[in-house]
């Protein structure tokens, strides 16, 4: 897995840390660090505009300059599970072969420890929600999204029907990432109440040796829908 670190600040110490990894990573720097004109009511959201600008530039570099055909996006405040790369390596062929899929994520938004079955760490699902927080996309999807990329709040934009277009994302029962970023543009919103309680998978699952064909749309509906409709109704 080639590693590209895209830096969106002029912070010298950050640059030194990245440089310390030498040829193990490709270090690229977002060239435009200027303030972005925003509507007066969005002044406090300047950070979200900078993030969207950085994502657009960095993904453009990955797919146009480096010419990779797929990429895993990982923010700098994520810790990954032992089988993080194994998971993405296994689901990449599914993403390439099933047009009803548009991404794969390492994150389960309902992944609090009390809500997941840690003994079923091999279990994967399709979801209509874009989870983010460690996700895989293909170059073909970037070619679709880049011309209309939003100026801010890119992840909320990804969840709109106009972008999803009826497609699903893959996600695990037990998250393969957790965030430790209490500080940031969201000012710790939801971190103490929710994000810090997400369960990170601790054991390696050999996904590339498993049969994941149940995640294809036709097979998945035969597998998943009966479970939903036979489940007990709760108030």
Nearest alpha carbon to residue 214 among 204, 227, 199? 227
Q: Which residues are designated catalytic?
A: 155
Give the model's pLDDT for residue 234: 86
Pairing mode, strands 177-179 and 78-80: antiparallel
| Locus of tokens 């029907």 | 161
Sorting pLDDT into bands at 50, 70 and 90, what band is 92? very high
Domains of the chain: 3-224 (3.90.550.10)
What pTM value is reported for the model?
0.93
pLDDT tens sequence across 107-159: 999 999 999 999 999 999 999 999 999 999 999 999 999 999 999 999 999 99
Q: Which residues contact 182 (CB under 8 A, 6 or more apart)?
A: 188, 191, 192, 196
Across 49-205, the runs of DSSP E, i.e. the strands, are 70-73, 78-80, 101-105, 124-127, 135-138, 168-172, 177-179
């Amino acid at each position: 897995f080639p590693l590209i670190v895209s830096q969106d600040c002029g912070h010298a110490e950050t640059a030194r840390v990245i440089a310390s990894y030498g040829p193990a990573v490709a270090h690229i720097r977002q060239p435009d660090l200027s303030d972005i004109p925003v509507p007066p009511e969005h002044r406090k959201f300047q950070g979200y505009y900078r993030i969207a600008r950085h994502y657009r530039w960095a993904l453009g570099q990955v797919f146009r300059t480096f010419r990779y055909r797929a990429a895993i996006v990982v923010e700098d405040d994520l810790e990954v599970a032992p089988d993080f790369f194994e998971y993405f390596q296994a689901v990449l062929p599914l993403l390439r072969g099933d047009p009803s899929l548009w991404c794969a994520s390492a994150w389960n938004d309902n992944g609090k420890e009390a809500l997941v079955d840690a003994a079923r760490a091999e279990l994967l699902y399709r979801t209509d929600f874009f989870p983010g927080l460690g996700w895989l996309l293909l170059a073909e999807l970037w070619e679709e999204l880049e011309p209309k990329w939003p100026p801010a709040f890119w992840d909320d934009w990804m969840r709109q029907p106009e972008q999803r277009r009826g497609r699903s994302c893959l996600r695990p029962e037990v998250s393969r990432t957790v965030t430790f970023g209490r500080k940031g543009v969201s000012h710790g919103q939801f971190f103490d109440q929710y994000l810090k309680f997400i369960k990170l998978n601790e054991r390696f699952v050999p996904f590339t040796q498993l049969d994941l064909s149940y995640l294809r749309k036709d097979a998945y509906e035969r597998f998943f829908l009966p479970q939903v409709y036979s489940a007990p109704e709760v108030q």
